[in-house]
Structure 1
């Protein structure tokens, strides 16, 4: 067909002339903008997930407080006796005693009559 050198050079100039000032032909700015948007979305998602899953221990502790079992100490009760009675089958009595002391913030094994113990 009829080709002219001016037509070829004008088309190249027009393609180059349509490019914005400072824009990279590879789209680096667009790629960086896309990465920035993805990073922001990931940040927002992680913050939302931390709020949703962050208080799971607090909710678990709150629901368990309504089902606490307590024992009132009477004359002759010992920590070992209470622990062996409520430890449950197959559970180590010493470990259960330690848990009872920990839950009730006891410093020793001495109990007082009328004292109320929370059982784990």
Structure 2
């Protein structure tokens, strides 16, 4: 891999971690408890798992220039992958029967507070 390409990958990786950190803090300030960060399963990765009462928010974090770009970056294939990973996560919870699940997006935008989009999609 060329040095320039490697440098770009490192920069993107760092930007993603920074975005997840900002998103987690924004959710904490809204009363959510962060249960998992970058939770990996054999079916995919969940950026954040947050809880507020009996609600579990499966959160995809996107750092983009606009909210529209962040929303568009999560297509049907990504939604399916995240939903499948969420099913595996939920299956491992003792109180799974009493929990409700929601899929959210947190868009990390330049020079703005992260935007939390609740119930961004439904998994079927």
User: Is the pair's TM-score, using the shorter chain for normalization, greater than 0.5?
Assistant: no
More strand as a share of residues: 2
More helix as a share of residues: 1
TM-score, with normalisation over the residues of structure 2?
A: 0.28
TM-score, with normalisation over the residues of structure 1?
A: 0.29
